[in-house]
Amino acid sequence: AGNHAQAVAWAASAIGISSTIIMPANAVQSKIDATRGYGGEVVLTDENLLAVTRRIQAERGLTLIHPFDDPYIIAGHGTAGLELMEDLPDVDVVICGIGGGGIISGLAAAVKQIKPDVHVIGVEPEGAPGMTLSLAQGSAATLSSINTIADGLAAPFVGALNLAHVQAFVDEVVLIDDESIK
């Protein structure tokens, strides 16, 4: 992961405010460096990311911009669905990667509002099957381990808002192995 981290650091710098970004200690170094380069204070942790984030948020009085389980983030990702439908109004199938579920939540909601018969397929790595597990158990899952080359799809848990959106707007979720991702 680290794409959201970079975006938040960049946006904060652009408007002249500071940002504190909590990232897993095993995040890709280039994403850590880029986040710092955009002005973010990076805190690396091997602990539960959300727990560390909540602790630092409370200690410092910060505002959390969750990377995927946030209605504004989901709505922002919906713009990708709007653009897709604007550019390809005759599309029949949309395929989208799934990490925590934020992008597919917004994209699928927008696509289905415009053209309900579009078949939306979510794809996630076999080594990070959070949404697949969440759908099977009917509640947002937390993964005990992650093993995939697709670091951008390697969220340690699925958001409850994201699960609800996937249940409502995504037609199927499929798992793919790392060899196929290569």
Q: Which pLDDT score, from 0 to 100, does residue 2 have?
A: 80
Backbone φ, ψ for residue 70 (5° rounding) = -145, 130
Q: What is the pLDDT of residues 33-52, one digit of tens each?
A: 999 999 999 999 999 888 99
Query: What residues are paired with 44 via a beta bridge?
Result: 23
The residue count of the chain comes to 182
**Number of CB atoms found within 10 A of residue 137's CB:** 10
Q: Which distant-in-sequence residues (6+ apart) come within 8 Å of 7 by Cβ?
A: none
Going by C-alpha positions, the residue among 147, 139, 157, 133 that lies closest to residue 179 is: 147
Averaged over successive runs of 10 residues, the pLDDT of the chain (182 residues) comes to 91 98 93 98 93 96 95 97 98 97 98 98 98 98 93 92 98 97 91
Report field, pTM of the whole predicted structure over 0.85 = yes
Domains of the chain by start residue, with CATH: 3-60 (3.40.50.1100), 71-181 (3.40.50.1100)
Instruction: Tell me the three state secondary structure of residue 121.
Output: strand
Backbone angles phi, psi at 174, to 5 degrees: -120, 150
What is the per-residue pLDDT for 81?
98
Compute the C-alpha angle 133/103/171, nearest 5°.
Answer: 55
